[in-house]
């Protein structure tokens, strides 16, 4: 009595429990450390995969109606691919000055003029399919691609943010496909903007599709815009 009691030796069960607890603590700490190194996007992707798998087990996702591209006329604006676009006019002619396109026998040059403003915060490549290269003509096989500014004839390489530019896009077409007095439908592009996080870095546009149909009449190209050859 009066003396401090000596601690009793731990039983085998208690010793085993303590060992397991220490081991689990080390594993938990390691897992947390590794989780901190994994990008958040991986967890999001994993969660999305689990959600899709669960949804598929119950019949899949319900179909969401996809809106049809609007049908517009020359002068009406359409915003798609972060570009504000408005078709101004269309014309057909021979070899057009400054385009670098030379029609072969049985071909002519189709020219579409449009106003375009890059609404994104950074320059956009004009030759990308989500930009001017994505402008085309319904049911007309076009060859080549030549975008230039109407103000000075200079080639358009990039569309600067917030700068309205009147652009002339030229293609080669079969002479039988388009004639003065015809109406054509110019297809304006739309796409979805993404920011790469894992394997792709920076801004990019994908899921490129037709955003709008623009009906415009075709004029005869003025003679002063065509190349004349001395005989």
pLDDT tens digits, one per residue of 166-177: 999 999 999 999
pLDDT of residue 197: 73
pLDDT of residue 230: 41
pLDDT of residue 226: 82
Same domain, yes or no: 107 and 199: yes
Same domain, yes or no: 193 and 103: yes
C-alpha to C-alpha distance for 181 and 159, rounded to whole angstroms: 31
Two structure tokens written together for 129: 């399919």
Q: What's the predicted TM-score (pTM) here?
A: 0.71
Confidence of residue 67 (pLDDT cuts 50, 70, 90): confident
Same domain, yes or no: 133 and 36: no
Residue 100 exposure: Cα atoms within 13 Å on the Cβ side: 10
Closest CA to 147 of 161, 120, 119, 128: 128
Please state the domain count of the chain: 2
Position 153 in a domain? yes
pLDDT of residue 22: 60
User: Which pairing describes strands 143-149 and 83-93: parallel, antiparallel, or unpaired?
Assistant: unpaired
Domain assignment of residue 136, given as a range: 71-225
Same domain, yes or no: 143 and 91: yes
């Amino acid at each position: 009595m009066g003396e401090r009691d000596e601690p009793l030796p731990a039983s085998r069960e208690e010793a085993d429990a303590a060992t397991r607890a220490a081991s689990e603590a080390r594993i938990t700490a390691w897992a947390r450390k590794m989780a901190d190194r994994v990008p958040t996007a991986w967890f999001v992707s994993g969660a999305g995969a689990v959600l899709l798998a669960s949804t598929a087990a119950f019949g899949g996702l319900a179909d969401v109606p996809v809106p049809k591209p609007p049908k517009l006329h020359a002068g009406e604006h359409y915003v798609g691919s972060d570009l504000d676009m408005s078709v101004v006019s269309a014309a057909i002619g021979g070899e057009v000055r400054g385009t670098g396109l030379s029609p072969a026998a049985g071909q002519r040059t189709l020219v579409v003029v449009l106003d375009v403003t890059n609404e994104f915060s950074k320059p956009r490549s004009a030759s990308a399919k989500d930009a001017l290269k994505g402008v085309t003509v319904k049911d007309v096989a076009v060859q080549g691609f030549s975008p230039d500014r109407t103000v000075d004839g200079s080639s358009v390489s990039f569309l600067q943010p917030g700068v309205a530019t009147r652009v002339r896009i030229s293609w080669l077409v079969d002479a039988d496909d388009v004639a003065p007095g015809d109406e054509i439908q110019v297809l304006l592009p739309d796409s979805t903007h993404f920011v790469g996080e894992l394997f792709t870095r920076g801004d990019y546009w994908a899921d490129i599709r037709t955003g709008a149909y623009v009906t415009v009449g075709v004029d005869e190209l003025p003679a002063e815009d065509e190349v004349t050859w001395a005989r």
